[in-house]
Structure 1
Amino acid sequence: MDDDNRVTRRRVGDAEIRRANRRWWDTDANAYQAEHGAFLGDVDFVWCPEGLREADARLLGELAGRRVLEVGCGAASCARWLATQGAHPVAVDLSAGMLRHAAHAADRSGVRVPLAQADALALPFADGSFDIACTAFGAVPFVDDSAALMREVCRILRPGGRWVFSVTHPMRWIFLDDPGEGGLTAVHSYFDRQPYVEQDETGVATYVEQHRTLGDRIRELVGAGFRLVDLVEPEWPEGHDGIWGQWSPLRGRLFPGTAVFVTEKRGQERGAPRPR
């Protein structure tokens, strides 16, 4: 198989997706942390390559005393930051390689949070266990049945609990993954939901990432039992000259690269007295 066939858009079965992405993140964990670890920090909550920080955005609401689940935590820098804000976080990821880096970062920083290896589609927690769930580019783009993921997160949240997640902005799927001028021309249909797939010489998927439109995401959330509070599209900040994959100052000044969905589980209104 030539290099042109190593990257494609095609349907992939659930079992192949799980194997591919688990193996990818286990294998790529060292390279990923070497490239992005300094930007993400050991104890920091960065939502996206644009550099939006939870310390400034406050999308999660009140943190002190809240039980928070970080889904698809990677090296768990966000969960450790949450712990410094008085929250009680738990961090889960499918990849043992990424969780290994989470343990190393805990040793370096001295900030420790509970870590668990778990599938986001089968979270090992009781109903209503958490006040908040969050992820910065974790889990959501890597599962085929993201509607099921939304339902699973809704299950482990109490009524009124907040679910906030960042993903690649859906309109970015129109363009090539090119941070330069080649990434300014629309080449794909926004409505093509076939995933981006990297595959080996035998045609077996080695990396799979899913595309959903904005409407798809909102319907998934509403169907799972959430209400949309906000949709944040971070602008590219002045003076930020970093490049992360297809994110760059050139593209960032023209159209959004990240979408952050801020939602709450329907039921008890936020701020109402919580049952003991």
Structure 2
Amino acid sequence: MNQEDYASEVASEADPVSLEDPEATRRDAGEAESSRASRSWWDRNADEYQSDHGAFLGDDRFVWGPEGLDEAEAALLGPTASLRDKDILEIGAGAAQCSRWLAAQGARPVALDLSHRQLQHALRIGDGLPLVEADAGRLPFRAGSFDLACSAYGAVPFVADPVNVMREVHRVLRPGGRWVFSVTHPVRWAFPDEPGPEGLSVAASYFDRTAYVEQDERGRAVYVEHHRTIGDRVRDVVAGGFRLLDLVEPEWPEWNSQEWGGWSPLRGNLIPGTAIFVCERD
């Protein structure tokens, strides 16, 4: 699909959708439908998301996922001192909390998100960071614009064509640039998305790659999330032109007593909840 066809399909689906009792199902969802659903869902839910999780995320903290793994300690992008004067792209930045932390380390971050409302929260928090509203599959930057790229649960789980995102990130990175992104750990797709004991029994096939879709009464998606196995994610990284340096599965820390959707101390102490891929561009 070329850019003109893509833009036309998105525009044709952009009329208002009914949000009363969306139906949850597993079905295929293409690139345009997934992008439209993600944009509208995050625009509708940004206020609630920031209200519910803003205190945990902080205004200028870099957290890789609900477990609370902090980049200040993990150094997955490299030693903190090495971030100074680096051009860094954050994809799926939300309210740009991670970018704000990067700026405090002396880096030059750019925060990109598909959702206009999420970026309005970034403006509300402040600090004058460069903000860009764009799709992760069509990064509006010249080749070789950045030294590093990162994404904490942003974009990658919600796109139908993750290899395209990998290739776009590869294009805008300079040689040797590191790309680090976190997603829901793929094993979680075999379990119900519940924080209590009911979320500990296998309920679906881990190998079912069909997307999770919430749709309105006309069958139009209002939320889409795509499942890839661990092996799929590794192959996506390689197909995008990267070398996989590390795969981090954060353990649930004793200090973290919060529940966040299907993440909880109960489940976190038994099965992984987040997978972080540390990649490098040749």
**Matches of 1:151 and 1:24, distance apart in 2:** 25
**Other-structure match for 2:8:** none
SS of match in other structure, 1:206: strand
> Post-superposition shift, 1:203?
1.9
1:15 aligned residue (18, 28, 32): 32
Residue 78 of structure 1 pairs with residue 94 of structure 2: no
Residue 249 of structure 1 pairs with residue 265 of structure 2: yes
> Post-superposition shift, 1:4?
9.2
**Matches of 2:154 and 2:112, distance apart in 1:** 10
Does the CA contact (< 8 Å) of 2:21 and 2:216 recur in 1? no
Query: TM-score, normalised to structure 2's length?
Result: 0.90
**Matches of 1:252 and 1:66, distance apart in 2:** 34
**Other-structure match for 2:143:** 127
Does the CA contact (< 8 Å) of 1:80 and 1:112 recur in 2? no
Aligned length: 261
In structure 1, what residue type is equivalent to 2:262? Q
**Other-structure match for 2:225:** 209
Moved over 3 A (4+): none
Note the 1:122-201 alignment, pairs <5 A.
122-201=138-217
Does the CA contact (< 8 Å) of 1:21 and 1:207 recur in 2? yes
1:52 aligned residue (66, 69, 93): 69
Deviation string for 1:153-176 (max 9, x for gaps)? Answer: 000001100000000000000001
> Post-superposition shift, 1:16?
1.7
**Other-structure match for 2:116:** 96
**Matches of 2:244 and 2:168, distance apart in 1:** 17
> Post-superposition shift, 1:112?
2.4
**Other-structure match for 2:16:** none
> Post-superposition shift, 1:199?
1.2
Does the CA contact (< 8 Å) of 1:178 and 1:246 recur in 2? yes
> Post-superposition shift, 1:224?
1.3
The RMSD of aligned alpha carbons is 1.4
Residue 32 of structure 1 pairs with residue 53 of structure 2: no
**Matches of 2:30 and 2:280, distance apart in 1:** 31
Residue 87 of structure 1 pairs with residue 107 of structure 2: yes
**Matches of 1:44 and 1:112, distance apart in 2:** 16
SS of match in other structure, 1:163: strand
**Matches of 2:280 and 2:241, distance apart in 1:** 9
**Matches of 1:155 and 1:131, distance apart in 2:** 11
Residue 64 of structure 1 pairs with residue 80 of structure 2: no
> Post-superposition shift, 1:13?
2.6
In structure 2, what residue type is equivalent to 1:102? A
SS of match in other structure, 1:261: strand
Does the CA contact (< 8 Å) of 1:73 and 1:138 recur in 2? yes
Ranges in structure 1 where 5+ consecutive residues have no aligned partner: 267-276
In structure 2, what residue type is equivalent to 1:79? S
Judged with a 3 Å threshold, the aligned counterparts in structure 2 of structure 1 residues 264 and 178 are, in CA distance, closer, same or farther, namely: same
> Post-superposition shift, 1:20?
1.1
**Other-structure match for 1:270:** none
Identical-residue share of aligned pairs (%) = 62
SS of match in other structure, 2:83: coil
**Matches of 1:134 and 1:13, distance apart in 2:** 24
Does the CA contact (< 8 Å) of 2:144 and 2:173 recur in 1? yes
Query: TM-score, normalised to structure 1's length?
Result: 0.92
Does the CA contact (< 8 Å) of 2:149 and 2:178 recur in 1? yes
**Matches of 2:239 and 2:174, distance apart in 1:** 17
